[in-house]
Amino acid sequence: MRHLLPGTTASRGMALGRARLVQPSRYLVDTRPLGEDEVDSEIEKLHRALDTARLELRELRGKLHGALAREVSEFIDAHTLLLDDPELLRGLDDLVRIGHYRPGAALKKQRDRLAAIFEAMDDPYLRSRKEDIDQVINRVISALQRQTSVEERKIAARVGEILIADSIAPADMAHLAGNGLLGVVASSGSPYSHSAILARSLDLPMLVGVRDALSTIHDDDLILLDSERGEAVVHPTAQDLSRYRAWQREAAQEGRRLATLANAPTRTRDGVDIRLYANAEMAPDIASARARGADGVGLYRTEFLFLRHKGLPSEDEQFIAYRDLVLGMGGLPVTIRTLDLGADKADAAGLAIRGEENPALGVRGVRLSLRYPAVFTTQIRAILRAACYGPVRVLVPMVTQPDELIAVRTLFKLARQELKRENVDLPEKLSLGAMIEVPAAAINVRELLEHADFLAIGTNDLAQYVLAADRGNDALENIYNPLQPALLRLISHVLTAGRRARKPVSLCGEIGGDVNFTAMLLALGLCEFSMHPGQLLLVRDRIASLDFHMLRKHAPKLIRARSHEEVAEMLGKIMLASQAVCSESISVNAPVL
């Protein structure tokens, strides 16, 4: 009998296939305490299981080739690092040796402890790292129970089908995708998980949070995975199948059409050139940005380098990462954001300020960097050295007032003098910009512009601070809405100030890459967007259908609206009107900025 299972779209698309269930690891562990004479042999068993898990990851890496290997190596590395984490290993040994836990019970205890730490994190991306812990510990438990992981071999047979699982490790997903996996339905997980990110870059449809998937779907059931609508259809009807075929035809057509946009200019229908930059965190983002014709990198989040690292990355390690980024973009401008860690995330890098009750309002971003000038100077030196390899701009996060930018500039000047004494090649000039995320910075933007060469509006945080609504809290969806008139007013204010000061202003929050907000942002006067590379072609396509000058006329009305509902309603009407009007003779060659 046909039934529908709703879920959250982690990667768009549709797929039709037979279900293959992977039951969650149930952590069936023996909780009886160990006898003193068993400790040594159990420690040995635990270490053998850890070795097996490491070996499996190495073998998996060996099996992947070409682009897939590059995409996945980050994830395999992250899992390998976790397996070698001294704190995790010491904790496990102590639990067995001192606490007399059996290895399986020790693994479960460590998993629960680490999962609680990750779950308490503010950032949804980092919160979703809990899945990595689960997957790594699952792998070790499975190796422990069978001495060799049969599970992987079982999974390897499940190709050409739709995987129904509690969650799936990115390494396994890559392996299966290479063998023809069609899609994934996961009962837990988040769209911010490594697996979800990977599914998007592999173009593999994926739903997460499909609560009843494992209890209601059976092996071999026919499944229509509809990640466009966010649902899995079990036993689809003829009508469902014809919808799927229609989608396939449209997707093929759309794919061909979008591919032709990769080398096209980004221009509105009335001829205004718009710049599209990419947000990048990892190496695959760079290739993806180039392939889709990005104008450069508008936001490189350096904190990921720190979070993936055990301890602080050295100057040379940072230099290599930044240099490779600059080289990867082949002469296009690259915007490197200095460290944006807060107390919640700074622990990993050993920089946490103790006892902060409210990390989102605490020593975060540039505040933390200025608190640790030696750490910051290491990053600054690495950036300066990398800037000899291509055009680099530096972006400072969480700026509240001009003195922070002045302090950063001074540190750059001092680092320059130091490097010069060391006879290191230096770039001639480096633009220094501020992120506009704190309401005070947006309101007093004119003062900030006296010290900044450019600005980047970070709407993810600006919205959370303007609306006093945690960006990761689902319960506040109705308040944390990018169409809130107060937010539009601030964006418009910042864009106007930038235009008057003749300094570029970009926007790099999530709304920059969401086609539902493209018309609104153009209406407010935005001409530089930065987004996840996967969104570039869609946004370019949307921009081509819109009339910039006509949209601009509606800006005063939009920012004077009384509610986000009113803005949404106005936008619907404006967009229709904008698409209906012919561009005729209007032609503007450059953005107004």
| Distances in whole angstroms, Cα of residue 2 to Cα of each of 225, 392, 422 | 13, 55, 71
| Distances in whole angstroms, Cα of residue 540 to Cα of each of 262, 331, 510 | 9, 21, 16
The residue assigned the tokens 């690495």 is: 382
Compare residues 293 and 397 and give the one whose CB is closer to ligand PEP: 397
Binding mask 461-480 for ligand PEP (x = CB under 6 A): x-------------------
Compare residues 196 and 457 and give the one whose CB is closer to Mg ion: 457
Catalytic residue of the set 194, 532, 554, 564: 194
Residue type at 472 in one-letter notation = G
Instruction: Give the H/E segment covering residue 117.
Output: helix 103-119
Binding at 459: pick from ligand PEP, Mg ion, none (beta carbon under 5-8 Å per type): ligand PEP
Compare residues 532 and 542 and give the one whose CB is closer to ligand PEP: 532
* Shortest distance in whole angstroms from residue 437 CB to Mg ion: 5
* Helices 536-544, 238-259: inter-axial angle, 10-degree rounding: 80
* Shortest distance in whole angstroms from residue 508 CB to ligand PEP: 4
**Is residue 509 a contact point for ligand PEP (CB under 6 A)?**
yes
Residue 500 CA to residue 440 CA, distance in Å, equals 19
Give the torsion sign (CA, 589, 533, 387, 461).
Answer: positive
Residue 375 CA to residue 365 CA, distance in Å, equals 13
Binding mask 82-121 for ligand PEP (x = CB under 6 A): ----------------------------------------
**Is residue 73 a contact point for ligand PEP (CB under 6 A)?**
no
Compare residues 190 and 459 and give the one whose CB is closer to ligand PEP: 459
Q: Which span sits near ligand PEP by CB under 6 A: 23-31, 454-462, 482-490, 570-578?
A: 454-462
The 3-state secondary structure of 271-287 reads CCECEEEEEECCHHHHH
Binding at 301: pick from Mg ion, ligand PEP, none (beta carbon under 5-8 Å per type): ligand PEP
* Options 205, 293, 296, 458; binder of ligand PEP; rule CB under 6 A: 458
Residue 556 CA to residue 385 CA, distance in Å, equals 45
Whether 388 sits among the annotated catalytic residues: the reply is no
| Distances in whole angstroms, Cα of residue 64 to Cα of each of 67, 132, 148, 156, 274 | 9, 20, 20, 13, 38
Cβ pair 564, 483 in contact under 8 A: yes
Sites for ligand PEP among residues 333-362 (CB under 6 A): 340
Compare residues 68 and 443 and give the one whose CB is closer to Mg ion: 443
Binding mask 288-327 for ligand PEP (x = CB under 6 A): -----------x-x--------------------------
Cβ pair 110, 20 in contact under 8 A: no
* Shortest distance in whole angstroms from residue 334 CB to ligand PEP: 16
Residue 84 CA to residue 58 CA, distance in Å, equals 13
Compare residues 130 and 301 and give the one whose CB is closer to ligand PEP: 301
* Shortest distance in whole angstroms from residue 464 CB to ligand PEP: 8
Catalytic residue of the set 47, 175, 309, 508: 508
Residue type at 186 in one-letter notation = A
**Is residue 460 a contact point for ligand PEP (CB under 6 A)?**
yes
Instruction: Give the H/E segment covering residue 3.
Output: strand 3-6
Residue type at 94 in one-letter notation = D
Q: Which span sits near ligand PEP by CB under 6 A: 94-102, 268-276, 351-359, 455-463?
A: 455-463
Cβ pair 329, 296 in contact under 8 A: yes
**Is residue 369 a contact point for ligand PEP (CB under 6 A)?**
no
Q: Contacts with ligand PEP: how many residues (CB under 6 A)?
A: 10
Whether 194 sits among the annotated catalytic residues: the reply is yes
- Residues in contact with Mg ion by the rule CB under 5 A: 437, 458, 461
Compare residues 179 and 431 and give the one whose CB is closer to ligand PEP: 431
Smallest CA-to-CA distance from 10 within 284, 200, 202, 232 is with: 200
Give the torsion sign (CA, 69, 70, 72, 76).
Answer: positive
* Shortest distance in whole angstroms from residue 42 CB to Mg ion: 46
Binding site for ligand PEP (CB under 6 A): 299, 301, 340, 437, 458-461, 508-509
